[in-house]
Amino acid sequence: MLTIDGTLADGWGANITIKGREIDATILFSDITSFSSRTQDLSPAEMLIYVQHFFTWATAEALQNTNGIIDKYIGDEFMILFSKEFGSDDPFEEAIVTGRRMSDMDAYMFCPHVGIASGRVIVGHVGTALRYNTSVFGAPVALAARCASIKPERKENEQVTTSIVFPASEWGDRDLNKIYEPRRYKNPDGNVYEMPHSWTLREPRTVPIKNLPDLEIREIVNRVYHLPQNPPENWAKMALKVLEEGNRYWPHISKI
């Protein structure tokens, strides 16, 4: 772990404060499949409700009992940081498990895209004395975001709801069935039933990456769809009506 803390003067006489800590970490980016087309008929207020619904659901389902820290929300996507510094025994594996939870518990059919990358990053202060916040910088951040944007290859008679994409070099000799263990249920008679998981680890392939060299990736894809009785688009519209009826939404406020 390396720390940087100091003040520099640029050529124009301005003082630039630099504060940060370098760590090894795994970055996870996730967003909603077909967000633009799914929300094109929503009003701005309904879109806000829709996105907030996604973030709340993802946080509650995917980050239970994990050491992941949400770094930022950007539009319809968010970024999670995993590191041994924050309690993860295996940050990459914990990110992979988090991606699975996001899909297995996808009762609203958000069908998230997930991109993961690991390496050296710096957690630092960004801004000035007037306003600043904390963010993460480093090559893994851009790479994870690029991986999240890679669409899975469509194979004949195969449906894909969620894909988790990462550099092939990060997988090593891991066994998917040990990371994604089958769910076990006990029947009334006491017998234990194992339900195999619906995920497939695909073979490596090389893909072009925007503004970066071509990358050999691997993908873990899920084949199961959740069909909600009330899609999140409809839920957002209904939720806004509830706010209107409770006098909690004021689209037209007269000037005083």
User: 3-state SS of 70-93?
Assistant: EEEEECCEEEEEECHHHCCCCHHH
At residue 1, the pLDDT reads 53
* Domain-located, residue 252: no
* Domain-located, residue 174: no
Residue carrying structure tokens 């594996």: 93
Report which secondary-structure segment, H or E, holds 244.
Answer: helix 232-245
Per DSSP bridges, beta strands 113-127 and 15-31 are antiparallel
User: 174 falls in which pLDDT band (50, 70, 90)?
Assistant: very high
Model pTM above 0.85: yes
* Domain-located, residue 217: yes
* Domain-located, residue 142: yes
* Domain-located, residue 226: yes
194 or 253, greater pLDDT: 194
Instruction: Using alpha carbons, list the distances in angstroms from residue 239 to 42, 45, 47, 54, 181.
Output: 12, 10, 11, 14, 37
Query: pLDDT digits over 143-157, tens only?
Result: 999 999 998 887 777
Distance CA 156, CA 229 (A): 28
Q: What is the CATH number of the domain that holds 142?
A: 3.30.70.1230
Range of the domain at 156: 2-167+201-234
* Domain-located, residue 86: yes
- Count how many domains the chain has: 1
* Domain-located, residue 249: no
* Domain-located, residue 207: yes
